[in-house]
Amino acid sequence: MIKNLICINCPRGCHLTVDYSPETGACTVTGNHCPRGVSYATQEMTDPRRTVTAVVRTTSAALPLLPVRTAKEFPKPLIPKLLNYLYTLTVQPPLAMGDVVLPNAMDTGIDVIATEPLEG
Ligand code: SF4
């Protein structure tokens, strides 16, 4: 399987061509100007992840929607399921920036944390 990607690890934005075999896991990358391009392309082909940002409802009239994000990059295939769940959540003050609003999201071991304080 051949795929073209743009490396997002630095502003140079190298155009990568990746030859990936799902059967063997072999990944050959060309077009990179440094080893980070190989790491990026391999991760994208085998286990793509993104930092997820969203908002959750609160019981606070002063801040009815609280911005949140995953504490680490989250598996891309599980992102729609995570977002659907987050949109059902309602959190209560007080919360500090960085407090966990959803531990172990979708059994990944990755927490979802507040990115703003929610005053009590
Ligand atoms: S391969 Fe290296 S030089 Fe190219 S965009 Fe990625 S990090 Fe930057």
pLDDT at 3 over 90: yes
What's the average model confidence in pLDDT over 54-74? 97
Read off φ and ψ for residue 32, nearest 5 degrees: -85, 145
Q: List residues bridging with 87 in a β-sheet.
A: none
Q: Give tens-digit pLDDT for 71-108.
A: 999 999 999 999 999 999 999 999 999 999 999 999 99
**pTM (2 decimals)?**
0.85
For the domain 53-114, what is the CATH superfamily, name and number?
CPE0013-like (3.10.530.10)
> Which ligand 1 atom is nearest residue 32's CA?
1
Cα(56) to ligand 1 centroid in Å equals: 35
pLDDT at 6 over 90: yes
Q: Which residue CA neighbors atom 1 of ligand 1 most closely?
A: 37
For residues 36 and 10, is the Cβ–Cβ distance under 8 A?
yes
| 120 band by pLDDT with thresholds 50, 70 and 90 | confident
Domain residue ranges in the chain: 2-46, 53-114
Cβ of 5 closer than 6 Å to ligand 1, yes or no, is no
